[in-house]
Structure 1
């Protein structure tokens, strides 16, 4: 069967992969895109075909050219979190400190820990119980984290900061998801947090430029 740690998405007819084990993104060449679609749509076989053998080596299907990897179907909410009430947006020193510790810790962790282990940890974090939360409360808690993040600015920190936000919210029993997305021309990857109907700590305008490839 296809590798469980390999995920893909279709970006305007081109297939982009994230290989979690190797911590890299890949784009399939066009001849492999055509072979992969043929395999998925009709179970086509090509005995000894170099294209099908290449797909099997990558991990997009098994050695018998069956069980092709399923596409990542991830819905992106069309709205941002609502502005928090003024009284909820004030900084709270202990909460701010807790958020900053998570942010700094994750920025170091992402540099030192392989992606596969980070994903394993996030999935374990997601197994914790959660409780229903109103959009207003979710927005208030996210706003506190965003205020803390502004105190430790950094470039290209969407992955560690998003994991830190997820941890910050999940520690307060709020259900939310971590999403990784990609875009092409030029290639760029992005990461954000969302619940079932709104973007948290980011904006829809920003994340709409990306095609989701992995959700945790």
Structure 2
């Protein structure tokens, strides 16, 4: 019998005994609870029955490996330990502010025109271009001196460009800018119940787009 796996286009996390899923094919979230969650939990624990497998395949939560197609390569992100947005920040550099605003506008256009999974795949592919050797040579980690000016510009851009319900395009813009300057950022999408979703950016375990209290209320469901 072929191996059975969770569909690769599904990202999921567990919250209070329920499972929240993000379907990258449809860019939609859904939740399973009660008996459905128990079936999926038994599958994850290797204790599922034949009836469980039939139900999970029928509801397109799992599939034979031969039907799976890799879409993106999620990363394991470090738990957020500190936020650079909570620190005193320097005066914002106008060039960085402009790049973030233009990047946000470009990201909004992409989100209107392109499938979400294609945007994520493009971000993954471009991220792979920056090798570890290059990042080490530039010293582009959370202690790099040019990180705080970028974070300051991100905060300043909120006063110029609409930031309400714009966490995803703003996150894409910051992710792209950080990578351009040699950093290895993670873009994290988190969820909470009652349902809400949020996107933020980290460099290592340092959040660079939100306060720590803000992101700690969400559980990561996807990280790039």
CA distance in 1, matches of 2:25, 2:121: 11
CA distance in 2, matches of 1:74, 1:33: 25
- After superposition, the Cα gap between the structure-2 partners of 1:111 and 1:62, relative to the gap in structure 1 and judged at 3 Å, is same
2:17–2:33 contact (8 Å) kept in structure 1: no
- Post-superposition Cα deviations, 1:23-71, rounded to whole Å, max 9, x if no partner, equal 100101311111111122134322xx2x43231244433359xxxxxxx
> What corresponds to 1:104 in structure 2?
105
Give the Cα separation in 1 of the matches to 2:64 and 2:178: 42
Cα shift at 1:117: 0.8
RMSD over aligned Cα atoms: 2.4
Taking the TM superposition and a 5 Å limit, the aligned residue runs for 1:17-166 are 17-46=21-50, 49=51, 51-63=52-64, 74-81=77-84, 83=87, 86=90, 89-92=91-94, 94-129=95-130, 130=135, 131-133=138-140, 134-166=143-175
Task: Give the TM-score taking structure 2 as reference length.
Answer: 0.82
* Structure 2 alignment gaps of length 5 or more: 66-74
**Which residue of 184, 191, 198 maps to 2:193?**
184
State the secondary structure of the residue aligned to 1:155: coil
Q: CA deviation at 1:75?
A: 3.5
- Residues 74, 98 of structure 1: CA spacing in aligned structure 2 closer, same or farther, 3 A cutoff? closer
Aligned residue for 1:67? none
| Counterpart contact for 1:132–1:175, Cα < 8 Å | no
Distance, in Å, in 2 between the alignment partners of 1:76 and 1:188 is 19
Residues 115-150 of structure 1, C-alpha deviations (whole Å, 9 max, x = no match): 111111110121121343325432222212321242
Asked if 1:202 corresponds to 2:205, the answer is no
Match of 1:171 in 2: 180
Distance 2:26 2:122 in 1: 17
Deviation at 1:188, TM superposition (A): 0.4
Deviates more, 1:127-136 or 1:8-17: 127-136
Structure 1: gaps spanning 5 or more residues: 65-71
Match of 2:6, SS state, is coil
Tell me how far 1:95 sits from its aligned partner: 2.9
1:213 aligns with 2:221: yes
Q: Is the 8 A contact 2:163 2:170 kept in 1?
A: no
CA change 1:85–1:203 in 2 (3 A) is: closer
Report if aligned partners of 1:17, 1:25 keep a CA contact under 8 Å in 2.
Answer: yes
Aligned pair count reads: 204
Partners of 2:203 and 2:92 lie apart in 1 by: 23
